[in-house]
């Protein structure tokens, strides 16, 4: 698949980068680190420029984020409350007012989460869904998503351009970064699951 993606970028340039990044945001078949760092390297082989790549990749990232935001809007508070009110979810410790509490938390801290989340693997895509559920103001969502994506994309593209034929070294570095993030993410899930069982499920 990697070879096909490289060939796609080589033939269709900016359009390929924008499309691939949009797809990667919704369903990541290949990490953005690979797409962006390779694209940066291609500035020395094609007529593509770092500025053009940054614009194209950021447009793709915003389009992908909007798709997930829209999916989030389908999971509105009423639907989630009905879901959490189901017997199965009650047995798992969920309560109807958890929805409003979660949305209230996101309303308070979501702005920071959207911006910084764009630079964190796994989170960078998924953060758009709770933003949609909370119905974050579209202008705010677009602004923060664009800025966060712009920073992430610029770093990888510039590094790819700087490293040239050694661009794969960037991927290895970011894979280690992603591994650390995912490890902390998994630890957090285990801790939260234990806390949830002890304070919600065990008490029911």
pLDDT tens by residue, 41-95: 888 888 899 999 999 999 999 999 999 899 888 876 666 666 556 566 555 555 6
Asked if 21 and 60 count as a contact pair (C-beta separation under 8 A), the reply is yes
CB contact set of 79 (below 8 Å; sequence gap of 6+)? none
The model's confidence at residue 13, banded by pLDDT at 50, 70 and 90, is: confident
For 197, phi and psi rounded to 5 degrees?
-65, -45
**Residue (of 87, 88, 66, 85) closest to 77 by Cα position:** 85
Radius of gyration of the chain (CA): 19
Overall pTM > 0.85: no
Domain total in the chain:
1
Q: Show the domain range for 184.
A: 2-201
């Amino acid at each position: 698949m990697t070879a096909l993606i490289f060939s796609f970028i080589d033939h269709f340039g900016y359009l390929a980068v924008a499309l691939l990044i949009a797809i990667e945001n919704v369903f990541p078949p290949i990490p953005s680190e690979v797409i962006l760092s390779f694209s940066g390297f291609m500035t020395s082989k094609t007529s593509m420029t770092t500025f053009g790549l940054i614009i194209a990749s950021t447009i793709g990232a915003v389009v992908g984020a909007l798709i997930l935001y829209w999916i989030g809007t389908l999971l509105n508070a009423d639907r989630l409350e009905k879901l959490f009110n189901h017997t199965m979810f009650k047995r798992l410790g969920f309560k109807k007012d958890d929805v409003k509490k979660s949305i209230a938390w996101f309303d308070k801290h979501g702005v920071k989460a959207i911006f910084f989340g764009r630079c964190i693997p796994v989170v960078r895509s998924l953060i758009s869904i709770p933003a949609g559920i909370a119905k974050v103001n579209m202008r705010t969502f677009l602004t923060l998503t664009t800025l966060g994506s712009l920073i992430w994309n610029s770093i990888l593209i510039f590094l790819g351009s700087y490293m040239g034929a050694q661009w794969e070294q960037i991927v290895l570095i970011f894979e280690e970064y992603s591994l650390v993030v995912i490890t902390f993410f998994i630890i957090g899930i285990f801790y939260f699951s234990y806390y949830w069982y002890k304070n919600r499920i065990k008490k029911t």
